[in-house]
Amino acid sequence: MERRKGERLVFPDSYRKYITLKVRGVSGSFVDAELFNFSPQGIRIRSRYELPFNSTIECLVSAPESLIKEIPFKGRIKYCIQEEPMGNYVIGAEIIESGDRTAFEIFSKIHGFVKGIIDNIS
């Protein structure tokens, strides 16, 4: 049963190299993560690090070719599943706060922008 409130923008492998996502780790510094999908309500990512259920995370997302630099937001972890023993974690988080609402909304529409870049390169 689908519980999402809105559509998620899926980022295929070829798009991910144009999107940068960093998550503040336990150490306090930001670490890289892969963005699978995104909406103003939530994200699905892959990380080398386990993140505790219901914890709050700080994230920075950007598209290097866009006019918008890193956009800060916070999320609440809804699940964290290890892909295989000693492997990466697939994580789902609800977006609970965005530092720059306008930039965050623009980024949520960036799917077409990234697709255009890839289509021009291909």
pLDDT digits (tens, 9 = 90+) for 45-83: 999 999 999 999 999 988 766 556 788 899 999 999 999
pLDDT in tens, 13-47: 777 677 888 998 777 889 899 988 888 788 999 99
Domain ranges of the chain: 9-121
pTM: 0.76
Three-state DSSP class for residue 53: coil
* Nearest to 45, CA basis, from 29, 31, 27, 64: 31
Q: For residue 105, what are its two tokens?
A: 């909304």
Residues 113 and 66: their CA atoms lie apart, in Å, by 8
One CATH from 2.40.160.50, 2.40.10.220, 3.40.50.970, 3.60.15.10 for 9-121? 2.40.10.220
Compute CA distances 68 → 11, 20, 103, whole Å. Answer: 18, 12, 7
Three-state DSSP class for residue 92: strand
For residue 111, pLDDT over 60 is answered with no
Q: For residue 67, what are its two tokens?
A: 């006019």
